Amino acid sequence: MSQLASEMGTPLIFEQGQNGRANRYFARAESAADYLPAEVLRDDLMLPENTELDVVRHYTRLSQRTFGIDLGFYPLGSCTMKYNPRINDAVANLPGLRDLHPFAPDEMAQGALQIMYELERSLASLFGMAAFSLNPAAGAHAELAALLVAKKYFRERGESGRNTVIVPDTAHGTNPASAAMCGFRVISLRSDERGRVGLDELEKVLGPETAVCMMTNPNTLGLFEDHIVEIAKSVHDAGGLMYYDGANANALMGNARPGDMGFDLMHLNTHKTFTIPHGGGGAGHGPLGVAAHLTDYLPIPVVRASKMPNGKPTKFVSDGLTFSLDFDLPKSIGPMRSFWSNFAHAVRALAYMYANGAQGLKRVSELAVLNANYLRVKIAPFLETPYPEICRHEFVASAQKLKKETGVRALDIAKALLDRGYMAPTMYFPLLVPECLMIEPTETESKETLDGFVESLREIVETARRDPKQILDAPTKTVVGRIDETRAARQPDLRWQSH
Amino acid sequence: MSQPQELLFSKEHEWVKVDGDVATVGITDYAQNSLGDIVYVELPKVGSTINQFGNTGVIESVKAVSDLFTPVSGEVLEVNTGLETDPALVNREPFGGGWLFKVKLSKANETSHLLAPESYDQLVAEEGR
Ligand SMILES: Cc1ncc(COP(=O)(O)O)c(C=O)c1O
């Protein structure tokens, strides 16, 4: 048994079964060589042979040992782990959408193109941008696309000297990483004592080399950047562009629009805000929004609508229109992804938007903010909250004091929460708060769930003061206990080998 | 908390031990404790020239990737190759076996920009609050 398998008490699928044990529903081919060229045939693959029942049991057992939003509370800050309504999947699985071939000509794909068009228009109006591209496949991917847009825009204006990107120290690591990957120099901006971008600090780094200032609002401390209009003006006065990291869009839908704050570029993590399952590293969706002066640079293809000769307007935005994919954008940065990108996710996102409606989405954000503030106030008496003011959809707590007094760190609290049936909050991010726990409850959790979480957290802190060892040894009830994080980072054992 | 008395410190939590015109550089106990388990250290190249407070490498822990700054200017004479296989040495012996690199000082007077042990204690006390 491999080490991981034995730790988990379950052999790998490769370690189970017997030669010849597999169920066979189909007659065996006389010889594979009749169907496949000799050079692609190999006999060195040790594929496991298990009965269907054994396979079902194996994977059902594994599925019971994992944790997800369908099992419990998942307050992972910055990730918006809300419930993903099943209607999204029902719609995305309609055969007409699911089985559509990416090479289908536009005439045969009108419904699918209409979905993309309506999603694009809805996002543009909800966030105040001129246009969106549904091409990028995740937030970080859209950041890269946006910076490529900015680079091309400046080059065509003869301003190639604009080679720096300003990123506040509360930013997600993908922001500076995307900028560096795109060849920009990154300037990190220290937050002020209110946890926000200070105009004075910003002015110091602005100049003729400024290309883009990347911000998220509310920032990753869950605080609204209340000088955002002045910040945008300063950056624009210096000739730069403003980029909005939409990972925190769940805080402001229908209440405030990045376009109105002065942002020129933005992305959405539709997999977060618009309820697409995520967290497994799987397919994501990162629409890129731009203001009017940047629409020519969007990735291709773009969905276009034109009036049908006899189209009658009805209650749907796009009835009476015909749709086509436009690949002919001479200034475009090109495609970021093949075909229509992760189209099923566009379907899920639109299903969610239409199920809620504009008023519903506004309410979603209001409840997300209410839930976060409820937790913040309930937790503050026993765990420090370094920014004790009304937050947006998330907030940070710090175990710094507890660590000094008991040796119990944010990491240990996180591990102890696993024992109590919760996913741990995001830890040690943003970096400027020591021993940080970043908590985002989302709007889909009930008061009972939030109260239960507060009680568990209180009990963990009290136990830490009485008997820290109990918390330092956690988790003890999970399938795998405390792992050696250094070894996991340095010598990850990711591959099973038969020999 | 009290720091080794023979060292000087930077605000970015590096320490320096000056011996004639050669300085040994490392990160402080407070720094390694805040970073958590260190899994990778990227050091400057031997023979390269580095400038005071400039970015000279990277320290990666299980929590975060952080820039490493040099508290002094000069030519890099030697780096601690033991950290390639055992970066956790920085956690275990931040002021000893976990040293990072040695520099031939090019500007002797710039140590005046560094903090004495008492001042660094004070800085840590403030940050830790
Ligand atoms: C604030 C912030 N920005 C950007 C990203 C990157 O998004 P994605 O994971 O979709 O690439 C994240 C993801 O967690 C985030 O929290």
Kindly state whether A400 is in contact with chain B, defined as any CB-CB distance less than 8 angstroms. yes
pLDDT in tens, B14-65: 999 999 999 999 999 999 998 989 999 999 999 999 999 999 999 999 888 8
Q: Which class is A86-354 in CATH?
A: alpha beta
Q: Is residue B3 part of a domain?
A: no
Rounded CA-CA distance B129/B125 in Å is 6
State the pLDDT confidence band at A35, using cuts at 50, 70 and 90. Answer: confident
Residues of chain A with Cβ-Cβ distance to B128 below 8 Å are: 400, 404, 434
* Pocket-forming residues, ligand 1, beta carbon under 6 Å: A 78-79, 138-140, 172, 174, 216, 220, 245, 247, 269, 284, 286
Which residue in chain A has the smallest CA separation from B38?
A486
CA of A259 to the centre of ligand 1 (A): 20
pLDDT in tens, A250-276: 999 999 999 999 999 999 999 999 999
Kindly state whether A491 is in contact with chain B, defined as any CB-CB distance less than 8 angstroms. no
Asked whether residue A363 carries a pLDDT value surpassing 90, the answer given is yes
CA distance B127 to chain A (A): 9
Domain with B63, as residue range(s), is 8-127
Q: Is residue B81 part of a domain?
A: yes
The whole-model pTM stands at: 0.88
Q: Tell which B residues from 21 to 40 touch A, by Cβ distance under 8 Å.
A: 34, 36-40
| A380-388: average pLDDT | 96
Q: Is residue B28 part of a domain?
A: yes
Q: How many domains does chain B have?
A: 1
pLDDT in tens, A210-249: 999 999 999 999 999 999 999 999 999 999 999 999 999 9
Kindly state whether A428 is in contact with chain B, defined as any CB-CB distance less than 8 angstroms. yes
Domain at B63, CATH number: 2.40.50.100
CA distance B105 to chain A (A): 28
Domain A363-490 fold is Aspartate Aminotransferase, domain 1 (3.90.1150)
- The domain locations on chain A are 2-64, 86-354, 363-490
| A295-316: average pLDDT | 78
CA of A180 to the centre of ligand 1 (A): 16
CA of A243 to the centre of ligand 1 (A): 14
ipTM entry: 0.72
SS (H, E, C) chain A: CCHHHHHHCCCCHHHCCCCCCCCCCCCCCCCHHHCCCHHHCCCCCCCCCCCHHHHHHHHHHHHHCCCCCCCCCCCECCCCCCCCCHHHHHHHCCHHHHCCCCCCCHHHHHHHHHHHHHHHHHHHHHHCCCEEECCCCCHHHHHHHHHHHHHHHHHHCCCCCCCEEEEECCCCCHHHHHHHHCCCEEEEECECCCCCECHHHHHHHCCCCEEEEEECCCCCCCCCCCCHHHHHHHHHHCCCEEEEEECCHHHCCCCCCHHHHCCCEEEECHHHHCCCCCCCCCCCCCCEEECHHHHHHCCCCEEEEEECCCCCCCCCCCCCEEEEEECCCCCCCCCCCCCCCCHHHHHHHHHHHHHHHHHHHHHHHHHHHHHHHHHHHHHCCCCECCCCCCCCCCEEEECHHHHHHHCCCHHHHHHHHHHCCCCCCEECCCCCCCCEEEECCCCCCCHHHHHHHHHHHHHHHHHHHHCHHHHHCCCCCCCCCCCCHHHHHHCCCCCCCCC
Residues of chain A with Cβ-Cβ distance to B60 below 8 Å are: 489
